[in-house]
Amino acid sequence: MTVNIVPFTPEYQPFIRAIRESVFIQEQAVPVELEFDGLDENAMQVLVAVDGQYVGTGRMLDDGHIGRIAILKEFRGLGLGAKVVQALVDEAARLGYPRVYLGAQTHAVDFYAKLGFTPYGEEFMDAGIPHLAMECKVKGDA
């Protein structure tokens, strides 16, 4: 298993898109125009591979907003989502960000809490799915 920070370039874009299309558009019925919001080119991307196959992804915007964490269904339960989030948090620490934040689907709040995220604010809807804002203070020099 490998976890890599990658750019959203033609080399990696098809893999990132395929994973997110499978998880968000097909499984969760997120409209394609909401999923691909035009921010990917300027975001830090993560791809996780198992046996040479890309099976998970996530991104972080330059303000520390983590999102689009997706693991293909057949690879869930292996701790890969946590590896994606941790890679982004570690990169935020390396870059000197004081905090990272995200909108967690409510079913995933416990997952993010185990990774050090704390909820704040009220529940909100995004793409027809209930979410809760969460943040994590970043420890310097990862």
Which domains are delineated in the chain? 2-137 (3.40.630.30)
DSSP 25-49: IIIT---HHHHS-S-GGGSEEEEEE
Predicted confidence pLDDT, tens digits, the chain (142 residues): 999 999 999 999 999 999 999 999 999 999 999 999 999 999 999 999 999 999 999 999 999 999 999 999 999 999 999 999 999 999 999 999 999 999 999 999 999 999 999 999 999 999 999 999 999 999 865 4
- 53-63 per-residue burial string, b: 16 or more CB within 10 A, e: under 16: ebbbbbbbbee
User: Given strand 66-71, what is the order of strands in its sheet?
Assistant: 2-6, 44-50, 53-60, 66-71
Please answer whether residues 87 and 45 qualify as being in contact, where contact means their C-beta atoms are separated by less than 8 angstroms: no
How far is residue 103's CA from residue 119's CA, in Å, rounded to a whole number?
9
